[in-house]
Chain A
Amino acid sequence: MTPRVLDVLVVGGGATGAALLRDLSMRGARCLLVDKGDFGTGTSGRNHGLLHSGARYVVKDEISALQCARENAVLSRVAAPAIEPTGGLFVATPDDPPDYADGFAAACARAGVACREIEPAEALRREPALRPDLRRAFAVSDGAIDPWALIELNLRSAVHYGGEALAYHRLVGLQLANGRIVGAELADVRSGSTFRVAPRMVVNAAGPWAGRVAALAGAEVTLTLGKGALIVLDRRPVDSVVARCHPPSDGDALVPVHTVAILGTSSVTVHDPDRYAISPAEIAHLMALGDQLVPSFSASRVLRAYAGVRPLYLPRLDELQPRERAGLAADPAAAEALAAGRIDSRRLTRAHRVLDHGPRDGIANLVSIVGGKLTTCRLMAEETADTVAAKLGLGTPCRTADEPMGGADGGRPYWLGHRLAEREVAGGGDADLVCECELVSAGDIERFLDERWPCSLDDLRRGTRLGMGPCQGAFCTFRAAARVGERAGGRAATATGERGLLVAAGGPSPVEIGRVADGPEPPEPGDGPIGPALVDAALVGFLEERFRGVRPVAWGRQLQEAWFEAGVYLGVLGVDALVVDGQRPCLPEDGRAEL
């Protein structure tokens, strides 16, 4: 079969890849985006959900601050349905260095990041749960952003402009000839089958996996992986983003997201983007941090913990910008390292970089986009698309900052009460709730399945927030699995397909995909249709995934909930009878549990 010809293959369906697919499609390029998992299962699905105003970075990283400030305004306009404009407060507590606040205010003014000092009393009127002995408070325009909604908006828009996106498709190989990529091999991780495409350009937007993707073309991209752990609270003690006014060690902030609030983050260097755990010490650190912002925080209920890795690019010496060089030279330790040919990554900008592997590595049609933030994903895409368009000879300019996404209603920002309002006006099947915590209706589920089938319950969760509330899936898993089961009932499929879907349900890492896909046929002679095994996998995989997130914070009410859930699913429903050795979706370490 002759491989399909494409203008651009985008590798990675995180926020960056999705924005890039949209950008290039709007410019008229024929593009395909692939992700080895569901969209938004990489770092984009494991972050803090903070739409930065730039204030966090003003003191140490002015480039990032400026980019965030600008993109905050742009995204609020073009991606409104994915954003809750909560506003933000930077508060100085007695635990924070008193002089930082002055420097902070000055730096905001210098960088042009909107920031207004308010009386502590006013801050407390706005957020009464905060500790009463605040020293100072600054109002900024931080917000909350739903990464899956943002990705969804971008993909929908991209598809509208002719783009194509495939979940559960992994780039496994690149063929080079004469300094060019001439073919890309893609594996459907659900069926195990592979096929080839012939792209004119390949963009590596693989986040923390960017080094591995570049390596497929023989290029070296070095990343420092900084793991951050976060914890999810069962409610919103604050309705604005609240951040500490102190040097951005771990980006300490409490972000209200939908019905919950997220506190983070810790920061620990790791080496494998697929395997990392959350330590009890990190959890203890986060709880203590919470108490410094909201009294009795540690007594409240923590629903789950998760972690992601920041893909920080470690530039080669010849790639340092003059400004960065100056920054490194100003710091004695960093200067010493630099003299010895090493770069101290803590002194680098968190801003992204577009790497053109033509001049860099002699691969004419490969571009990598590395580093950056959720907040700046559109800008990252724009700069990358500029490079790509130049190589393709496309003259069309970027329009992603001008055209709002989300259809006719696109201008309306997210608001917390939207689900309830929808449920109240909706009649018919829509009023039947599958997930009571998050008000997910049967209609929401069916609509998602209509578009995405076949998919796992975890995919359904990212699309609908199923199982993300206090009970963490205790009731809805059962109901949603039944709906998946009904759909599966009518479908016949091959045994390989069945195994592939089994894998999909647990959100496995590359290692495990290989293992399951290469394993022996499932020993299930009478198991004809795809249906039941898919439901087993959906149930078991989803319960395991939720359990993984609860485990690091299993105490108090959440342990009680976990015990209740185990009683129902093991005691009453006997789900353990469906867990077959070797077929159970294998799970990576705790840390990979998502939001």
Chain B
Amino acid sequence: MPSCDVLVAGAGLAGLTTALAAADGGASVWLVAKGHAATHWSHGGLDLAAPPGTVGGGEGVALLARRPGHPYEIVAEDLPAGLARVRRALDAAGLAYEGDLASPHGRIPTAVGATRPAGVLPGAQAAARAPWRPGEGLLVVGFERFRDFAAPAVAASLARPLPWAGAPRPERVTAVGVTLPGLAERRNLDGLDLARAFDDPSWRGPALDAIARAVEPHRGDGELRVAFPAVLGLADHPAVAAALDARLGGPWFEIPLVPPSVPGLRLYEAMVAALRAARVAVQVGFAVSAAIRTPDGRVAGLATAAAGRPFPIRAGQVVLATGGFASGGLVATADGRVEEPILGLPVEAPPQPAWLAPSMFDPAGHPLEAAGIRTDRKLRPVGPTGERAERGVRIAGALLAGARALRERSGDGIAIASGERAARLALARTVGALAVPSGPVAAGPAAGPEGRGAR
């Protein structure tokens, strides 16, 4: 049975951060996950906290940290260190993230012609947040035959004041469609198909030429910022970005789309690359079903399965970062229970009739969003009266109770901060083990699905 110092369940931002921080601290680390996470669906930016009425991420975090029972109450102090760690990994992959806790949330355009507040952004999205100067225009570029981005509709919407909610906005917004080489006959293209096409240098050249030709006539007297659907390369994105910089000679940015999220995949791949460099075993496709326990009942590892075969992993410290309802870290049942399916941990949740507000867009969010595992300050699960519910395990990310991540735009920050904290606490308990030069755990099982995450 393989064993390690720190075993992380979940390949979302929380699990990835935990694993990286633990490995950076010298522990031997395994990361196992049932499948891909919110990274693959989300926008690739890092939402730290933008509750209504706040101007910047730091202010948002401070506000939420004062709310009793909010995860930031416990983990906010770990956010700067976690964010710096994640930023290092992303920078190493050439994604050039910008922004920090001090940056104001600008409002950046979305693919339905709305805007959203954004704190930390990948380089390719950062230009969206720069203040709009007098006379500056926005050109939205669409690609023919690509059904997931309708440039004219996006431009028409962004030309109005409404979506900008009072924030500074471009003076004029226009759209242009570009026919990319060789795609006229393709059907049902998604963002990933296009991103892979851009990765190919021989296709990229003519494609970028076509783009530059289409943009050129839209340059008038004033300055112009150009927006693209977020499909500009996956593995080779930095090269695509550099080539586009050279072709356009002016500011441009990407707008994230519906899943599969190309910016989210880049983020995921960058984190996995950092984990591999730190010799972490990353196993996606390994669903965790139960705990391995010491005779006295303490959690001492997890039982996973791949290809139908049981695959137990022993660990000194276990961190559960299996996400909320969207990822299956929490499961709601027809008869009104909310369960944590791996360990059966006690879940804090509102009673069923109050799970969801009548409107999807209720500004207060849905009560069920705050459901999750309640922990002590060391992120160890506790029951309703504060008693320890399980020993040997810590909780990180969206599985924690108390946040309404979507409305607060706090999900990524909580994931990073709690991952950092969980790793720090786990490392503190792993001192003995670290004395043994266990190093990175050799490898996964011979036919392990290592790297399956690359799609």
Residues of A within 8 A of B (CB): 280, 283-284, 287, 298, 431-434, 442, 475, 478-479, 481-483, 485-486, 488-489, 524-527, 529, 531-533, 535-536, 539-540, 543-544, 547-548, 551, 553-556, 559-560, 562-564, 566-580, 584, 587, 590
Chain A residues near B360 (CB-CB < 8 A): 543-544, 547, 566, 569
Q: How far is the CA of A483 from the CA of B148 in the complex (A)?
A: 10
Look across to chain A and name the residue whose beta carbon is closest to the beta carbon of B337: A555
Interface residues of B in 316-330 (CB under 8 A from A): 324-326, 328
Query: Are the C-beta atoms of A489 and B152 separated by less than 8 Å?
Result: yes
Interface residues of B in 269-311 (CB under 8 A from A): none
Chain A residues near B153 (CB-CB < 8 A): 481-482, 485-486, 488-489, 531-532, 535
Query: Are the C-beta atoms of A526 and B258 separated by less than 8 Å?
Result: no
Among B157, B187, B334, B407, the residue within 8 A (CB) of A532 is B157
Query: Are the C-beta atoms of A577 and B165 separated by less than 8 Å?
Result: yes
Query: Are the C-beta atoms of B152 and A587 separated by less than 8 Å?
Result: no
Which of B188, B256, B328 has its CB near the most chain A CB atoms (within 10 A)? B188
Extra inter-chain contacts (15) besides given A554-B356, A572-B116, A587-B359, CB under 8 Å: A475-B258, A489-B156, A524-B162, A526-B161, A532-B159, A547-B360, A551-B356, A562-B356, A570-B406, A571-B406, A572-B110, A573-B110, A574-B110, A578-B157, A579-B361
6 contacts between A and B (CB under 8 A): A478-B258, A485-B153, A556-B334, A560-B325, A567-B41, A577-B110
Chain B residues near A554 (CB-CB < 8 A): 332, 355-356
Chain B residues near A566 (CB-CB < 8 A): 360, 406
Q: How far is the CA of A287 from the CA of B336 in the complex (A)?
A: 14
Look across to chain A and name the residue whose beta carbon is closest to the beta carbon of B357: A551
Query: Are the C-beta atoms of B187 and A432 separated by less than 8 Å?
Result: yes
Q: Which range holds the interface residue count of chain B?
A: 35 or more
Among B116, B162, B163, B353, the residue within 8 A (CB) of A280 is B353
Query: Are the C-beta atoms of A564 and B326 separated by less than 8 Å?
Result: yes
Q: Please report the number of residue pairs spanning A and B whose Cβ atoms sit closer than 8 angstroms.
A: 179
Look across to chain B and name the residue whose beta carbon is closest to the beta carbon of A564: B326
Query: Are the C-beta atoms of B258 and A544 separated by less than 8 Å?
Result: no
Q: How far is the CA of A526 from the CA of B169 in the complex (A)?
A: 13
B243 within 8 Å of A (CB atoms): no
Query: Are the C-beta atoms of A432 and B361 separated by less than 8 Å?
Result: no
Among A479, A551, A567, A568, the residue within 8 A (CB) of B358 is A551
Q: How far is the CA of A567 from the CA of B324 in the complex (A)?
A: 12
Query: Are the C-beta atoms of B331 and A556 separated by less than 8 Å?
Result: yes
Query: Are the C-beta atoms of B352 and A280 separated by less than 8 Å?
Result: yes
Closest 5 CB pairs of A and B: A485-B153, A482-B150, A574-B116, A547-B360, A577-B114
Q: How far is the CA of A579 from the CA of B353 in the complex (A)?
A: 25
B196 within 8 Å of A (CB atoms): no
Q: How far is the CA of A578 from the CA of B115 in the complex (A)?
A: 9
Query: Are the C-beta atoms of A567 and B361 separated by less than 8 Å?
Result: no
B38 within 8 Å of A (CB atoms): yes
Q: How far is the CA of A486 from the CA of B152 in the complex (A)?
A: 7
With contact pairs A482-B153, A573-B258 given, residues A287 and B114 touching in the complex (Cβ less than 8 Å): no
Q: How far is the CA of A481 from the CA of B147 in the complex (A)?
A: 11
Q: How far is the CA of A121 from the CA of B361 in the complex (A)?
A: 50
Q: How far is the CA of A482 from the CA of B140 in the complex (A)?
A: 14
Query: Are the C-beta atoms of A572 and B406 separated by less than 8 Å?
Result: no
Query: Are the C-beta atoms of A572 and B114 separated by less than 8 Å?
Result: no
Look across to chain B and name the residue whose beta carbon is closest to the beta carbon of A436: B188
Chain A residues near B407 (CB-CB < 8 A): 570
Query: Are the C-beta atoms of A575 and B114 separated by less than 8 Å?
Result: yes
B43 within 8 Å of A (CB atoms): yes
Among A531, A555, A568, the residue within 8 A (CB) of B333 is A555
B112 within 8 Å of A (CB atoms): yes
Chain B residues near A525 (CB-CB < 8 A): 161
B42 within 8 Å of A (CB atoms): yes
B26 within 8 Å of A (CB atoms): no
Q: How far is the CA of A556 from the CA of B42 in the complex (A)?
A: 21
Among B114, B148, B333, B355, the residue within 8 A (CB) of A574 is B114
Q: How far is the CA of A342 from the CA of B255 in the complex (A)?
A: 66
Q: How far is the CA of A482 from the CA of B411 in the complex (A)?
A: 28
**Chain A's nearest CB lies how many Å from the CB of B189?**
9
Which of B150, B256, B363, B411 has its CB near the most chain A CB atoms (within 10 A)? B150
Which of B111, B157, B159, B259 has its CB near the most chain A CB atoms (within 10 A)? B157
Q: How far is the CA of A393 from the CA of B110 in the complex (A)?
A: 62
B28 within 8 Å of A (CB atoms): no
Q: How far is the CA of A582 from the CA of B335 in the complex (A)?
A: 35
Q: How far is the CA of A495 from the CA of B417 in the complex (A)?
A: 48
Q: How far is the CA of A406 from the CA of B326 in the complex (A)?
A: 43
**Chain A's nearest CB lies how many Å from the CB of B293?**
28
**Chain B's nearest CB lies how many Å from the CB of A487?**
9
With contact pairs A551-B356, A568-B41, A574-B115 given, residues A479 and B147 touching in the complex (Cβ less than 8 Å): yes
Look across to chain A and name the residue whose beta carbon is closest to the beta carbon of B38: A567
B113 within 8 Å of A (CB atoms): yes
Among A532, A543, A568, the residue within 8 A (CB) of B156 is A532
Query: Are the C-beta atoms of A434 and B43 separated by less than 8 Å?
Result: no
Query: Are the C-beta atoms of B147 and A563 separated by less than 8 Å?
Result: no
Among B41, B47, B325, B353, the residue within 8 A (CB) of A559 is B325
B424 within 8 Å of A (CB atoms): no
With contact pairs A555-B334, A564-B41, A568-B259 given, residues A575 and B147 touching in the complex (Cβ less than 8 Å): no
Among B112, B187, B361, B368, the residue within 8 A (CB) of A573 is B112
Chain A residues near B187 (CB-CB < 8 A): 431-433
Query: Are the C-beta atoms of A584 and B361 separated by less than 8 Å?
Result: yes
Q: How far is the CA of A442 from the CA of B148 in the complex (A)?
A: 12
Chain A residues near B324 (CB-CB < 8 A): 563
Query: Are the C-beta atoms of A529 and B156 separated by less than 8 Å?
Result: yes
**Chain B's nearest CB lies how many Å from the CB of A374?**
29
Query: Are the C-beta atoms of A576 and B361 separated by less than 8 Å?
Result: yes
**Chain A's nearest CB lies how many Å from the CB of B414?**
13
